[in-house]
Amino acid sequence: MNRSEGAGGTSAAEWARRDAAAVWHGFTQMAVYEDSTPVIVERGEGNYVYDTDGRRYLDAISSLWVITLGHADADLNRAARGQLDRISHSTLLGNGNTAAITLAEALREVVPVDGARCLFASDGAAAVEQAVKIAFQYWHNQDVTDRTAYLALGHAYHGDSVGSLSVGDGGFGTDLFDPLRFPVIRTPGYDDGDWAAKAVAAVDRHHRRLAAVVIEPLVQGAAGMLVTDPEAVAAFAATVQARGVPLICDEVATGFGRTGALFASELCGIRPDLMCLGKGITGGYLPLSATVAASHVYEAFLGEDLGPRTFYHGHSYSGNALACAVATRHLELISERGLIDAARRAAGRLGAALEAVEALPAVKEVRRRGLMTGIELDPPPGASKWGRKVCAAAVRAGVLLRPLGDVVVVMPPLSITDDEIETIGRTLVSAITEVAGGEAGA
Positions touching ligand PLP (CB under 6 A) are 123-125, 128, 157-159, 216, 221-222, 250, 252-253, 278-279
383 contact partners, CB below 8 Å, separation of at least 6: none
Distance CA 156, CA 422 (A): 31
- Comparing CB distances to ligand PLP, the nearer of 128 and 410 is 128
Q: How far is the CB of 107 from ligand PLP (least distance, A)?
A: 17
Q: How far is the CB of 122 from ligand PLP (least distance, A)?
A: 8
Q: Which string of DSSP letters, residue by residue, matches 235-295?
A: HHHHHHHHTTPPEEEE-TTTTTTTTSSS-HHHHHT---SEEEE-GGGGTTSS--EEEEE-H
405 contact partners, CB below 8 Å, separation of at least 6: 224, 387
- Comparing CB distances to ligand PLP, the nearer of 254 and 427 is 254
- Comparing CB distances to ligand PLP, the nearer of 66 and 350 is 66
Closest CA to 317 of 121, 40, 119, 52: 121
Q: How far is the CB of 68 from ligand PLP (least distance, A)?
A: 14
Is residue 344 within 8 A of residue 260, CB to CB? The reply is yes
Distance CA 233, CA 271 (A): 11
Closest CA to 279 of 263, 260, 295: 263
Q: How far is the CB of 252 from ligand PLP (least distance, A)?
A: 4
Strands 56-59 vs 399-400: parallel, antiparallel or unpaired: parallel
Q: Which string of DSSP letters, residue by residue, matches 45-68?
A: EBTEEEETT--EEEETTHHHHT-S
- Comparing CB distances to ligand PLP, the nearer of 52 and 291 is 291
Annotate 88-127 with b (16+ C-beta within 10 A) or e (fewer). ebeebeeeebebbebbbebbeeebbbeebbbbbbbbbbbb
- Comparing CB distances to ligand PLP, the nearer of 48 and 157 is 157
Closest CA to 346 of 111, 45, 69, 107: 69
- Comparing CB distances to ligand PLP, the nearer of 99 and 264 is 264
Q: How far is the CB of 403 from ligand PLP (least distance, A)?
A: 15
Q: How far is the CB of 288 from ligand PLP (least distance, A)?
A: 10
Q: How far is the CB of 168 from ligand PLP (least distance, A)?
A: 8
Closest CA to 310 of 320, 300, 318: 300
- Comparing CB distances to ligand PLP, the nearer of 279 and 367 is 279
Strands 48-51 vs 56-59: parallel, antiparallel or unpaired: antiparallel
Q: How far is the CB of 254 from ligand PLP (least distance, A)?
A: 7
Q: How far is the CB of 189 from ligand PLP (least distance, A)?
A: 12
Residue with the shortest CB distance to ligand PLP: 124
Q: How far is the CB of 240 from ligand PLP (least distance, A)?
A: 18
- Comparing CB distances to ligand PLP, the nearer of 65 and 139 is 65
Classify 2 as helix, strand or coil.
coil
Distance CA 253, CA 224 (A): 12
